[in-house]
Amino acid sequence: MAGRFGLLLTIVVAATSNGRAVPTPKDYALRVIDKILEVESQAKGVFLSWDYGGGIIFDAMHRASTSLGHPELLITLDKYLDDMTSDPDSYGYKILHNIRIPFYRAVGDQVPLFTIAYLNRYLRQRNASDLMIVNTAAQKYLLPYPYYLADGTFSRHEGWGTEPDRNASFVWADDQYMALTLLCRIAKAFDRVDYANLAVKFAGQYAGYLFDTTDGLSFHGYNDADHKNAPCKWGRANGWGMMTHVEILEAMDHFPALRESESFKRQLRLLQQHSAGLRHVQSKPDGRWHQVIDEASTFLETSATAMFVSSMIRAVKKGWLDRDYVGPVIFGAWEGLRKTIGEDGRVDGISCGTGIGTNASFYNGQSTEYVISQPGLGSVIHALVDLNDLFESSE
């Protein structure tokens, strides 16, 4: 691994060990997973529930099982997935038995995103019922979602305090990941270029509403009723954006025609501009990013940091980001991230889920209690898996 990136990686690995045995990203990942499973054994549904946070945890744990060499973890995940199709109160059971589920207040939070867990299992086992769950989620609960702007961008009618709503006029940065990830994964798995094109279209629209070209960062929301952005740039909102950039590019990269398209170049520029914006506001010396990403008075937040690390590493591997440019960003973030993981696997500094706020104090007041950290916890596992792959590639 040549260049400054390779030299920096060697220095970081050596400095981290400093002649003694210290936890690797793999060690940290297994700690985090073990703690999640311990909590679940005591209170089912705290982390592994059918919602967007649970879906990201399932997806990350699936990656960990294969990347970190722990296939027995798949047995545990499969049991949870089976339980969710046998429990009459579960969405999985309702989908398989054609019981209609009312649309939720947000496009991907309730049904669609979680089904990437069943897609992952389908690609291993080719189980027809898993495929039915995935296709039903996309065709009945994602694409026909009833709240959207005139251009088709998925929107919401609540969750922004006293801000005026007109016909579901709120666009949330969160929803780009919640809605588009399933489309991107299906596109790659089943050569559905129509899904890829649709995801690209929506991604461009979200960026148009939310991305601030003056600093390379994303607003948390946009209100089409008064054509104004939310005043704050929430860290995890930017995390959802970064992860979406990579999901979109990976889906486009699957199709040669899209890979060579102007749309691909636009999405790539967006990823690069966003990464540059993040590089500028990374905290020093901790290495993490703030809860309101451009407001140093707010606390350092762990899940957004993990999202940026995971996205940047995946992009570096594809050649979409320059190794030497983002290498110091990644390794600085790793130093901050690993300090948030306790010996018992608890992760500190993850903001709970939140609506759109009107000032930095609103975001700074959000809880970071571990038992309600589910919305951001899966991203930490994703980051640790990617860091482990990165470090192992240098050996």
pLDDT digits (tens, 9 = 90+) for 69-85: 999 999 999 999 999 99
pLDDT of 7 above 60: no
The pair of structure tokens assigned to 329 is: 């960003």
pLDDT of residue 155: 97
Mean pLDDT of 59-76: 97
pLDDT of 257: 97
pLDDT in tens, 322-367: 999 999 999 999 999 999 999 999 999 999 999 999 999 999 999 9
Task: Give the integer Cα–Cα distance in Å for 198 and 164.
Answer: 29
Q: How much of the chain exceeds pLDDT 70, in percent?
A: 94
Query: What pLDDT does residue 156 have?
Result: 97
Q: What is the mean pLDDT of the chain?
A: 95
Answer with the residue of higher pLDDT: 16 or 369.
369
Eight-state DSSP code of residue 370:
G
CB atoms near residue 262 (< 10 Å): 7
What is the band of 22 on the pLDDT scale with cuts at 50, 70, 90?
Answer: confident
- pLDDT score of 196 more than 90: yes
pLDDT at 8 over 70: no
Residue 187: both structure tokens together: 């596109």
In degrees and rounded to multiples of 5, residue 393 shows phi and psi of -70, -15
pLDDT reading at 214 higher than 70? yes
**Which domains, ranges and CATH numbers included, belong to the chain?**
23-393 (1.50.10.10)
Alpha helices in the chain (DSSP H): 3-17, 25-42, 52-67, 72-86, 91-96, 116-125, 128-136, 174-190, 193-210, 235-253, 256-259, 262-281, 302-318, 323-338, 360-364, 374-392
C-alpha span between 206 and 181 (Å, rounded): 14
Which letter does DSSP use for residue 171 in this model?
E
- Residue bearing tokens 């947000």: 106
Reply yes or no on whether the pLDDT at 11 is more than 60: no
17 has pLDDT over 70: no
Tokens of 295: 């407001």
pLDDT exceeds 70 at position 321? yes
pLDDT in tens, 176-190: 999 999 999 999 999
Across the range 121-148, mean pLDDT stands at 98
Residue 318, both tokens: 């594809």
Question: What mean pLDDT do residues 23-45 have?
Answer: 97
The pLDDT, as a whole number, for residue 14 is 53
Give the pLDDT mean for 264-276.
99
Which residue type occupies 295? E
pLDDT value at position 20?
A: 64
